[in-house]
């Protein structure tokens, strides 16, 4: 299992899997999308470990007694699978985040593509928060782990939106990975501390976290709800209408 950033291996994964998908009219094994296929090959280059049936489910990767699932969204659809897998196996969910994104637009009538343009947005680890909340009931299981994989992506979208320029509300055609920037691994409960910025005081509110992490306060509140399950923070009181949280000294 790949455990350090390897640009050469990632490029090889892109070349091999994108070529294979194009040869199958864009449809890969079990109708997977491009990013899913590339990450599966990158983290487990030997295809003998791919698509392994375990019970009534199929694991993306099964190697050395551990299961790895590449999931780009909709963590809630994994609940039954996780409930079964976690009874016997360690499970790592690999979640891709577009660190740098280049956008291309496709004219649906002519098929013409616009020149790619770099998106001003940069992906962050906080993008996983809504997905973690969907499986919050499993977060306190020490057998559940995560790899947040920051990749560079060329995303093609159809010009079929409702706005004047047809971009707002448009449909995503595909995302083509072109490089890997970094990864964050969450293997133990202590690793969840990565979500708490160093500038955050020992006692804080969701508003404090929102400001320090530069995320909306609602998302900060959701994150705190999740982190309570890991015991890296405790709820210790209230300040006005806001709950006050404290970092657990065990993990400092």
Answer yes or no: is pLDDT of 28 > 70.
no
Q: What is the mean pLDDT of residues 139-148?
A: 97
Determine the pLDDT at residue 32.
44
Q: In angstroms, how far is CA 250 from the centroid of its own chain?
A: 27
Q: How confident is the model at residue 82 (pLDDT cuts 50, 70, 90)?
A: very high
Q: What's the number of CA atoms in the CB half-sphere (13 Å) around residue 227?
A: 27
Q: How confident is the prediction for the chain on average, in pLDDT? A: 89
Q: How confident is the model at residue 249 (pLDDT cuts 50, 70, 90)?
A: confident
Determine the pLDDT at residue 26.
44
Answer yes or no: is pLDDT of 174 > 50.
yes
Q: What is the mean pLDDT of residues 163-180?
A: 81
Q: Is 209 in contact with 196 (CB distance < 8 Å)? A: yes
- The residues of the chain that CATH labels 1.10.10.10 are 197-251
What is the CATH T-level fold of the domain 197-251, as seen in this structure? Arc Repressor Mutant, subunit A (1.10.10)
Higher pLDDT, 17 or 79: 79
* Distance (Å, whole) CA 155 – CA 175: 4
3-state secondary structure of 210: helix
Determine the pLDDT at residue 33.
76
Q: Is 189 in contact with 248 (CB distance < 8 Å)? A: no
Of 93, 90, 97, nearest in space to 135 by CA: 93
Percent over 90 (pLDDT), the chain: 67
Cβ-proximal residues to 250 (8 Å cutoff; 6+ apart), any chain: 231
Tally of CB atoms within 10 A around 59: 21
Q: What is the CA radius of gyration of the chain?
A: 20
Unique residue bearing structure tokens 């992906």: 123
Higher pLDDT, 117 or 185: 185
Answer yes or no: is pLDDT of 30 > 50.
no
> Please, what's the b/e burial string for 20-37 (b: 16 or more CB within 10 A of its CB; e: otherwise)?
ebeeeeeebbeebbbbbb
Cβ-proximal residues to 111 (8 Å cutoff; 6+ apart), any chain: none
Q: What are phi and psi of 204, to 5 degrees?
A: -160, 165
Q: Is 161 in contact with 167 (CB distance < 8 Å)? A: yes
The structure tokens listed for 25 are 């009219």
Query: pTM for the full model?
Result: 0.88
Cβ-proximal residues to 214 (8 Å cutoff; 6+ apart), any chain: none
Higher pLDDT, 221 or 115: 221
Unique residue bearing structure tokens 């947040």: 148
Q: Provide the greatest CA pair distance for the chain.
A: 61
């Amino acid at each position: 299992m790949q455990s350090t950033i390897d640009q050469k291996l990632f490029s090889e994964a892109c070349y091999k899997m994108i070529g294979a998908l194009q040869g199958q009219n864009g449809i890969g094994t079990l109708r997977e999308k491009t990013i899913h296929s590339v990450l599966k090959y990158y983290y487990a280059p030997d295809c003998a470990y791919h698509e392994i049936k375990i019970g009534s489910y199929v694991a993306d990767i099964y190697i050395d007694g551990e299961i790895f699932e590449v999931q780009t969204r909709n963590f809630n659809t994994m609940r039954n699978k996780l409930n079964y897998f976690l009874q016997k196996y360690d499970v790592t969910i690999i979640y891709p985040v577009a660190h740098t994104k280049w956008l291309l637009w496709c004219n649906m009538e002519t098929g013409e593509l616009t020149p790619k343009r770099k998106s001003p947005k940069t992906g962050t680890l906080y993008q996983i928060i809504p997905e973690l909340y969907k499986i919050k009931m499993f977060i306190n299981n020490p057998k559940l782990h995560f790899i947040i994989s920051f990749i560079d992506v060329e995303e093609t979208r159809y010009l079929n939106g409702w706005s004047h320029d047809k971009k707002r509300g448009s449909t995503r055609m595909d995302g083509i990975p072109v490089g890997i920037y970094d990864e964050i691994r969450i293997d133990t409960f202590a690793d969840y501390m990565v979500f708490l910025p160093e500038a955050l005081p020992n006692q804080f509110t969701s508003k404090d976290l929102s400001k320090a992490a530069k995320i909306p306060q609602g998302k900060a509140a959701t994150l705190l709800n999740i982190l309570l399950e890991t015991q890296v923070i405790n709820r210790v009181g209230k300040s006005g209408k806001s709950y006050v949280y404290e970092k657990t000294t065990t993990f400092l």
